Amino acid sequence: MKKLYSLIAIAFLLTSCGGNDKVLLRNSIGKVNKVMVVTKSSDWNGDIGKAIRNSFGELMVGLPQPESLLSVSQVAPNGFGTMMKVSRNILVIGVGDKEEYFVRKNVYAQPQTIVYVYAKDDEGVVKMFNKHQKEIIKEFKDSDIKMTLSLFNKKKIDDSQYKTLKNLGVSLTIPNKFNTVDDTGDFLWLRNHLSSGIAKTGSNNILVYSVPLLDETKVADSIVAVRNKIGKKYIPGSDPETMHMITEEAYTPFTFNTTIDGKTAYETRGKWEVLNDFMAGPFLNYTVVDKKNNRLVIFEGFTYAPSVNKRAFLFELEAIAKSLKIY
């Protein structure tokens, strides 16, 4: 049994080394943010499984309901058959002949990401996994972003129709399920009315705008103030005189350093609400430092979907945001 993980790795290496011969791979299956873990049941029920569940099960920030970063399922190596091998995101982990961490793409299906983690004993496996856990999560999330954008590309809107994007000199991969709410030339608001299940009364929303770059050292600290100003100006509630979108005051947003289109950017996740009303939900804000044009280009996505989980909705908005290009 100890050698089984090495045999799996050797098998795919042999099948992928066919010179110039092209192998027709099946289409992968699986929901975004979902990982199949291939490991022995005893490992899954022990320290190895606990480490995986603690890492992938970390709660996403900014969501009203508790939702994990990644969902997981487990299958034993002897059950890792033909149907299982077409899963899009797979983690193969367990005891092997040596310590190893590596990633392979499109082994049994496409698109597919398989991460391999081995060590000589259970303690070593846990250490190897913990050492690379952030990389592993990023591998799976980046893979899902790429896959989602490839789907959106097949049914994307011609974004040259939007005055605001044209004036700002930016482009985005936006699926055609989004409709225009407002396009002033300085501010773009697009909305996708959700049509499935209990969420059919809700919507996914995209905002795009820019503000001057005044002090690069204070960009992160100004994000909430900027979005509150924009909310007051452009996003009214049912009574425009007394109601508009604000950042929820009872919940402090989280801001992370990132890059968009190769530029310094800040990712902020938090909750929005409508002043003097009961509407609320999560938002995802990317503030991109465009030094060339002395400005901040801002993409924001926010979701209104009462009583349902919202991770998948925010993930779609994240994928669209990461397609942003500044010309």
pLDDT at 120: 97
**Contact by Cβ (8 Å): 7, 79:** no
The fold of the 159-326 domain, in CATH, is Protein Transport Mog1p; Chain A (3.40.1000)
The whole-angstrom separation of Cα 255 and Cα 266 is 6
Average pLDDT value for residue range 104-124: 97
Q: Where residue 301 falls among pLDDT bands split at 50, 70, 90?
A: very high
% of the chain exceeding 70 in pLDDT: 91
Domain ranges of the chain: 4-153, 159-326
For residue 225, how far is the Cα from the chain centroid? 25
For residue 106, how far is the Cα from the chain centroid? 20
Q: What CATH number belongs to 4-153?
A: 3.30.379
Average pLDDT value for residue range 36-42: 98
Pairing of strands 34-38, 89-95: parallel
pLDDT at 249: 87
Residues 6+ apart with CB under 8 A from 201: 194, 306
**Contact by Cβ (8 Å): 294, 213:** yes
pLDDT at 24: 84
What value, to the nearest 5°, has the Cα angle with vertex 245 and ends 239 and 247?
150
The whole-angstrom separation of Cα 277 and Cα 273 is 8
Rg of the chain in Å (alpha carbons):
22
Closest CA to 303 of 283, 322, 288: 283
The answer on pLDDT for 169 being more than 50 is yes
Q: Is the C-alpha dihedral spanning 54, 56, 60, 64 positive or negative?
A: negative
Selected residue with higher pLDDT from 8 and 118 = 118
The answer on pLDDT for 307 being more than 90 is no
The answer on pLDDT for 40 being more than 80 is yes
User: Each residue of 227-261: pLDDT tens digit?
Assistant: 999 999 999 988 988 999 999 988 899 999 999 99
User: Each residue of 285-295: pLDDT tens digit?
Assistant: 999 999 999 99
pLDDT at 198: 57
The whole-angstrom separation of Cα 289 and Cα 117 is 37
Check: pTM over 0.85? Answer yes or no: yes
Give the 3-state secondary structure of residue 176. coil
